[in-house]
Chains A and B, each alone.
Chain A
Amino acid sequence: MLQLFEFIARNRNFILFVLLEVFGFWLLFNSNNYWSVEYLNTANSANAKVLEVSNSVKEYSNLREVNASLAQENRLLNQQLVQLQQQKPTNAPNGYQPDSDFAARYQWVTIAKVIDNSTHRADNYLTIDKGTLHGVKVGMGVISPTGVVGKVKICNDKFSVITSILHSQFMVSTKLLRSNEIGTSKWERSNDPSVIQLKDISRYKPLVKGDTAVTTDQNAVFPAGLRIGRVKNFKVAPDGAFYDIDLQLSTDFSTLSYVYLVENKLLNKQQSLQEAVNEKKPK
């Protein structure tokens, strides 16, 4: 008996080592044991606290990726939304059934970052970091999360230049939602990059301040219903037949950072048909 105790005392570390190892293997192979379920897992409050703190730090470094994935999600959601709207236009009579190709003609091609931007010249352009390699083509519509931005003017393989809506030659067919009038928006007074002018609405129609201006169905580049701005004020020249309307732009061009590129896949077919009519006209 004494010898046994002596043996244990002499080899206590080895015995402890074996016991701990056996205990470790027992824990590992009985994964449902009381210890691992009750205490030693990531859900216990001390561990969860540590993980929470480390995660809150990590969240900041992940913001860029989170932003990118959200923008990507928005791109797809926007595309689906427009497609659904095109399939079932709210103002169409009952029997109207759009062709499925036609309803799906708008495609959100890509998301781009604005890397250069001017707002105070007479004709303003934006530069984005996507080009033909990413599917960008000349003539595509460019929109931001808050509304219409412009149209692709030129592009190379990596970059594109966009004619901003703040351009003296850029016109957008515009509808006022509440008064249901259609006109043309164009940037004329080049001193204020937050206000655009709306023309061609008859002075005899009732107008409301604060009315929302959106793109119309007659627009080939932009899907219908995109926000442009809201009516800031309007007046009539004494001898004019139309209102001079100022629209407050919904997009703040000075802080624009990400834009979506929209392609109308049927644009060529539509335009070639319309050009054919023009050519047949006697001159």
Chain B
Amino acid sequence: MTPNDLIRSALRWLLYVLLHVLVARHLVLFDHAFCYIYLGAILFLPFELNLTAALLISFMTGAIMDSFDNTLGLHIIASVLVAYLRPILIRYQLAQKISENRLELSLRGIGLPAFLSYVLVLVSIHHFVLLMVEAGSLGMLGFTFLKILGSIIFTTVALTLGQAFSR
């Protein structure tokens, strides 16, 4: 990883965090769909980054989100889980692309089908954990599931569009 790559990754992380704190945090579609676009900050971390660093970064990201939502712990739990599952998913889904040596975790780098399956799985896990823990109980299960489903679609579309329109 060159210093240039490092700076680009750091800036991308900052961009996703700011985008979430300033804009996406306030977006609610149809009272059910929320946009947790900060997931991009974790999902698109460089693939070469070792797991320890990824876990600590996602812990920090979650803590920042929690500090803005006054829900300390909630985003941390979901973010750290995503960061831990990320390499496993990459190993199973993108194994052959890794062997092509240079793998950039972006829409352009791995193509739409692989990108969607990668993002969709991790976003689903994240939202399921986040919203179930937030609900705190099994009451209103239908409402929570609707929220999870809506948010998965919203976040995935937002992340895909964000990647499609960035360089």
Contact = CB atoms under 8 A, between A and B. Distances in A.
* A, B in one complex: yes
Interface of A: 12-14, 16-17, 20-21, 23-29, 31, 33, 35-36, 39-42, 44, 47, 50-51, 54
Given A42-B67, A42-B68, A20 B80 contact: yes
Given A16-B52, A54-B22, A24 B76 contact: yes
Given A27-B66, A40-B63, A40-B67, 20 more contacts: A13-B55, A16-B52, A16-B55, A20-B76, A21-B77, A23-B76, A24-B73, A24-B74, A24-B76, A25-B77, A26-B73, A28-B71, A28-B74, A28-B77, A36-B66, A36-B70, A40-B66, A42-B70, A54-B21, A54-B22
A33 B56 CA distance: 21
A47 B77 contact: no
A24 B62 contact: yes
A24 B70 contact: no
B84 interface: yes
A17 B58 CA distance: 11
A27 B76 contact: yes
Given A28-B74, A41-B72, A50-B21, A21 B67 contact: no
A195 B70 CA distance: 59
12 contacts: A13-B51, A21-B81, A24-B59, A24-B76, A25-B73, A25-B77, A26-B73, A27-B76, A36-B66, A36-B72, A44-B67, A54-B22
Contacts of A13: 51-52, 55, 84
Contacts of A35: 72
B69 to A, nearest CB: 8
A20 B95 CA distance: 28
A42 B67 CA distance: 6
Interface of B: 21-22, 51-52, 55-56, 59, 62-63, 66-68, 70-74, 76-77, 80-81, 84, 133
A47 B21 CA distance: 10
Nearest to A17: B84
Contact of B73 (A27, A42, A47): A27
Given A39-B67, A50-B21, A28 B55 contact: no
A40 B21 CA distance: 14
B73 to A, nearest CB: 3
Contacts of B73: 24-29, 36
Contacts of B51: 13
A124 B62 CA distance: 63
B68 A27 contact: no
A6 B67 CA distance: 37
